Structure 1
Amino acid sequence: MSIRIRLAGITAAAALAFVPAAATIVAGTDVAWAAPPCWNKGGKWWCDNRAPVPVFGNDGRVVDTLRTSQSIFKCRAERHAHGGGGPHPNRWEYTQGDDHGAWGWVKDSDIYSETNPLPGC
């Protein structure tokens, strides 16, 4: 028995050709996307992130901004709520801002990469 599904004029097999390898498809569910992890290059940890995003000081005030969509992060910490939701709702990453060189924290929800590989702070 063969089942053929047509999606917008193409077969399901052809539609799957457009699904990235990072996707997991489970019957009866939406496609779940697995983010590629942060990576270590030259002794520094790089992650894909939104830009621009605020960099917060320990007191919660904005101290700088990340302007690039790939940035260097030193470490990660489970700090307090309001990390932005997602798979790590209390996680924040420590980095140096682009405008003033100030060190501070970026919400995990502002980082596209999976941040588990980053060392703990």
Structure 2
Amino acid sequence: MKPNLVIIQPPHVGMDAEVEQLCEEFCESHYVYLIRPHSAVRDDSPAGVRFLNHPLDNLPGFGRVDTAISVMDPEAMDSLRTFYPDSRTAVWDPREKNDFIDSLLKPTVIRGDFGEHESRELARAM
């Protein structure tokens, strides 16, 4: 099952195309929810991005949220931490090169020298 990724883009931020591109990129590995408070209701993207328009003081629940990102709004971090306390959080500025986004969302890679039995068990578990 893919992990949940929540991205909040406040109305004053703009840069819609850049934010949507990021969301599209992570749809293969995550369920992506793009929350734009007070925006118009919109259908999901063909890639699977779910567009929501909840206010910051009433964010939706998704079970476990793995990662929550605020686009250029440090003040939204309080809401993210309140509604998704167990998630990793970050503020993202699409105008800058942000390697931390890739590292934040990069899947864990298991490496090592295992015996034949352990390799089969590890492969079956993954």
User: TM-score scaled to structure 2, two decimals?
Assistant: 0.21
Instruction: Mark the structure with the bigger radius of gyration.
Output: 1
User: TM-score scaled to structure 1, two decimals?
Assistant: 0.22
Which structure: greater strand fraction?
1
Which structure: greater helix fraction?
2
